[in-house]
Structure 1
C-alpha cells in the first residue's frame, strides 16, 4: 500500500472519531457545531500563518471565496449531522450518513468532475459503491425490538436531518475541485505543488466560513444565542481539532493525481467503522447478537468496496 493511499485513509480515523468525541463532550447540536468550528479555526489559522504564508503560497481573493463558501455549507452539514446523531444514535446515524455521502460524492465526482472516463471505470465504480452502501445498510439495521423506534427516526426528523446534512457535506467536498474545473481557480494555482498548495491555502478561509456559518445556524435556526458560548461549546474545540486533521488530509488526498475526489471521499467515509464500533464499545450503544452479525458482515463489505474503488484508476 503506497503512501498516498495511507494518507487518504487518515481522514477516516479522525472523522470517524468526531461523533464519539462530540457525544462525550456533550452539548446541543448548535454548541457542538460551534465548538467544532472554533477548533477548526485554531487549526486553520495556524496552517495559514505558519505554513501557507511563510511559503508564499497564493492566497488571493479566489482562495478566500472558495474557502468561505465551502466552510458555510460544511456548517450546515455538520449541524444537521449532530441533530441526526441525537435522533438515531451514532451507531445507526453514522452508517446512513456514510452511505448517502458516498453516493452523492461519487456521482458528483464521476459526472460533474469527470473522473470516471470509460465504461469499465463506471462499472467498477457502481459495483464498489453498491458494496459500500449495502454494507452501511446492514450496519444500521435495527433489531426487531427497536425496529419501530428506528423506523420512526428514519421516516421523520431523522430522514430530514440526513438529507440536509448530506447536501451540505456534498457541496463542501465538491466546491474546491468544481471551481477549479470551471477555471474560477486558474490551472496554474490549482497545479502548484501537485495541488497541495491550493488545498492547503483553502483551510484558513474555510475555517472562517465554518465559524460564520455555525454562528448563523445557532442564532437563526436553533435560536441558542443565550447558551451558545456555554461550557460544552468550549469542550468541543477538541472535536474541531480532530476534525481539522482529517480535513487537511482529505483535501491533500483529493488533490493527489493518483487519488482524486471519488477515492478520497470514499476512503474518508471508512470512518463508519470507527464511528460504529466506537458507538458500541465507547458510548455503550447496545446491540443484539443479530445486529452484531450484520455489523460484522456490513463492515467487511464496506472495506471491500472501498478497496475496489481505491484501485479504480487501474481500469482507466
Structure 2
C-alpha cells in the first residue's frame, strides 16, 4: 500500500506538462496559475485536515512554517525553470530531462546527505540506477538529424531550454530535500517529525499550507523581476492554470507523506514520484501531438524503459 501511495505523484506530476499546455499561456502565466491552484489546495489541507487532526501545535508551528515557506520558494524556482524548458524543448523532451535530473539529484542527496544508503551494495546498485536514468533521459531527448524541430516549435531553443531545466532541477532538489534536511540537522525535533506513530504524516502535511504561500510569493518575484511579465500575469491563461496547480498539489501531498514514511524514505518517494515520465513523454506525443520520427520513437521507448528500470532499482535498494 505504501508503494501505491508513493506512485500517486507520478500520475499527477506526469500530467502537469500536458495540462498546462492545454490550458495555454506563457511560462510565467503557467507558473503563477499553478501556484494559485497549489495555494487553494494547501490552505484546504491546513484548515480541513491538519488543524482538526494534528492540532494547532502543528498547523501553526513557527518552525514548520519556516521549513514549508522556504521549500515553497525553492519550488517556485524549479517550476518556472521547468515551464520555460517545456516551452523551449517541448514536453516530450523537457519532461524526461527534468525527470532524470530530479531522480539523479534527489537520490544522491538522500544517499549522501540524508544517509539513506547505508551499505556498499546500496551505493553500487544505486549508482548503476542513476546512470541508467541519465542515459535513458538522453535517449528520450535525442533530436532527429533529418528534421528541423523549429518547424513544429518556433520557440525551440535547446541550449536555453537545457539551462532552464538545470536551474529547475536544482530548485526542485532543494524543495524535495529541505524538509527532511532540516529535521536531520535538528531544526525540527524528532518527535515532531515522527508523529503520529512514527509515520511523519503530521509534519509533512503541516508543511503544505506555508509551502503554498512560499510558492505564490516566489512565483510573483520570478514573474515580475526575472521573466518581466508583470503586465500579463493576470490574464485568462493564468486563471486556467489553476487547474494545473490542483493536479500538481494532489501529487505534492502524497509525495511528502511517502517521503516521511520510514518504510519508503526520501530516495524512494522522490524516485517513484518521477515515474510520471511515461505520462509526460508519451502524453506530449500522443495528446499534444508533438511530432517524432520512427528513429526518435525507438530511442524514446528505450530511454523510458531505462528510466523506469533505474527508478525501480532505487526503490528496492532498502531490501538489498
TM class by shorter chain equals: over 0.9
Please state how far the C-alpha of 1:256 moved relative to its aligned partner. 0.9
CA distance in 1, matches of 2:167, 2:161: 10
Relative to structure 1, the CA distance from residue 28 to residue 148 in structure 2 (aligned partners, 3 Å threshold; closer, same or farther) is closer
CA distance in 1, matches of 2:74, 2:40: 19
- Secondary structure in 1 matching 2:230: coil
Please state how far the C-alpha of 1:47 moved relative to its aligned partner. 0.3
Does the alignment pair 1:87 with 2:88?
yes
Tell me which of 218, 223, 230 is aligned to 2:223: 218
Tell me which of 22, 27, 35 is aligned to 2:25: 27
CA distance in 2, matches of 1:303, 1:133: 11
Paired residues in the alignment total 311
Task: Give matches, 1:181-260, under 5 Å.
Answer: 181-193=184-196, 194-260=199-265
2:52 counterpart residue number:
54
CA distance in 2, matches of 1:264, 1:208: 23
Task: Give matches, 1:8-157, under 5 Å.
Answer: 8-57=6-55, 58-59=58-59, 60-146=61-147, 153-154=157-158, 156-157=159-160
CA distance in 2, matches of 1:209, 1:186: 22
RMSD of aligned residue pairs (Cα, Å):
1.4
Does the alignment pair 1:159 with 2:167?
no
CA distance in 2, matches of 1:299, 1:228: 35
Which region of structure 1 is more displaced relative to structure 2, 75-84 or 301-310?
A: 301-310
Please state how far the C-alpha of 1:153 moved relative to its aligned partner. 3.1
CA distance in 2, matches of 1:92, 1:146: 15
* Deviant stretches of 4+, over 4 Å: 147-150
Please state how far the C-alpha of 1:147 moved relative to its aligned partner. 7.0
Please state how far the C-alpha of 1:141 moved relative to its aligned partner. 1.1
1:176 counterpart residue number:
179
CA distance in 2, matches of 1:202, 1:196: 10
CA distance in 2, matches of 1:188, 1:92: 43
- Secondary structure in 1 matching 2:13: helix
TM-score w.r.t. length of structure 1:
0.95
Relative to structure 1, the CA distance from residue 208 to residue 148 in structure 2 (aligned partners, 3 Å threshold; closer, same or farther) is closer
TM-score w.r.t. length of structure 2:
0.94
Task: Show structure 2 runs of 5+ residues with no match.
Answer: none
Which region of structure 1 is more displaced relative to structure 2, 222-231 or 81-90?
A: 222-231
Please state how far the C-alpha of 1:252 moved relative to its aligned partner. 0.6
CA distance in 2, matches of 1:53, 1:10: 24
Deviation sequence 1:119-140 (CA, Å, 0-9, x none): 0010111111222222222111
- Secondary structure in 1 matching 2:232: coil
Please state how far the C-alpha of 1:16 moved relative to its aligned partner. 0.5
Deviation sequence 1:227-273 (CA, Å, 0-9, x none): 11110000000000000001001001101111111111111111111
CA distance in 2, matches of 1:125, 1:35: 36
Tell me which of 261, 268, 291 is aligned to 2:296: 291
CA distance in 2, matches of 1:308, 1:56: 35
